[in-house]
Amino acid sequence: MKSRRDFLQKITVTAFSIPLVSSLTPGVLARSTSFEKNDKVLRVAMMGLGSYANRVADAMKDCKRAKITGVISGTPTKIKDWQSRFNIPAKNCYNYGNFDAILNNPDIDAVYITTPNALHHSQCLRVAAAGKHVICEKPMAINAKEGREMIEACKKAGVQLLIGYRMHFEANTKEVVRMRRDGEFGKIMFFQGLSGFIIGDPTQWRLNYELAGGGAMMDIGIYSINGARYMIGEDPIWVTAQEVKTDPVKFKEGVDETITFQMGFPSGAIASCLSTYSMNYLDKFYLNGIKGFAEMQPSTGYGPIKSATHKGRLDLPHVTHQTTQMDEMAAIILDGKIPMIPVDGEEGWKDMVIIDAIFEAVKTGKKVEIKYV
């Protein structure tokens, strides 16, 4: 595969040849939102039917406000399987070449994009042009420029753009953020984020620069970036970063294996983080303030999240993250609900601005000032 453009052309040609397939606090419940049976339901088409799409779809079986009503895929056998599992009619099944036709499909309100990172931008623009809301997995794009174009396209089309930040709805995470906002930790001084695992199959798309736009930082390091922002409650204004690569065959040019990075915030707080594809058991957040602390390990895994503060353990009840996420996103789109921690396009764009700065810091070896423009 010579370039991203080659891939996009290849997938489009292939797609056109595929026919349509026939046929919060301790003591309260983890899911604080109650939904009435007569509330409107968000009808969602899943785009890209890989492992994560399956995880989301299975979790949505327990949703009260969201349901799977359509699919978009380049693989006919996957479409057939999903039709059977979720009772999806043939008229709601599309491929990558013809999904613009969702414009005329009243059974679909939103499209959840779970394809490789490099495809998010073009697919988001097409979904927005079709008048459907966009839910896009993180990272929202491969750089901040693409992210901004996605935001503007959705604004122009009058649809919402939400990013799949499932942790923003997780009970332990929300409780720690509440405590920080209420001043229970005092002035925040330091955050540590450790995000990593040993990646397997060397041929997967996550290790292909043309599809992933990077390596571990795009996939797992973004959790520490985003976590630092919502735990501290600020956006960083500078970053320094260092890269270590022990296997240049597996981790080719542009595909980062391990990056350590440091961020500075307007209040003076600092963050020290690690993103890696070559070490296991790295899923930890630690927040330090002058009056107390919070720690979470695991902090962003599928759960249950384990958490504690200077006041004792939290470990609030576990609910499948994607179930809560999709019910809450339905409330955002259908009811105008404002989430405790943002999940809109601007939130995703800020993470891309920071990732761009981290890559620049790695390349130059210099401290990079971050400007959100």
Cross-strand bridge partners of residue 47: 72, 113
By the 10 Å C-beta count (0-12 exposed, 13-18 middle, 19+ buried), 191 is classed as buried
CA distance 219 to 242: 17
- Asked if residue 89 has a cis previous peptide bond (ω within 30° of 0), the answer is no
| 118 and 213 Cβ atoms separated by less than 8 Å | yes
Element (H, E) at 321: helix 321-335
Catalytic (active site) residue 138: yes
Assess whether 281 carries a catalytic annotation. no
User: Which sign, positive or negative, has the C-alpha torsion 114, 170, 270, 346?
Assistant: positive
Residue 186 has φ and ψ, to the nearest 5°, of: 70, -160
Q: Which residue in 138, 284, 306, 350 is the catalytic one?
A: 138
Number of Cβ within 10 Å of residue 252's Cβ equals 14
Across the chain, where does the E strand assignment appear?
A: 42-47, 66-72, 93-94, 110-113, 133-136, 161-163, 188-196, 238-244, 258-264, 270-276, 282-289, 293-296, 307-309, 312-313, 368-369
- Of 94, 96, 165, 223, which one is the catalytic site residue? 223
Tell me how many degrees the CA angle 348-267-365 measures, rounded to the nearest 5: 65
The residues that are catalytic are 138, 223
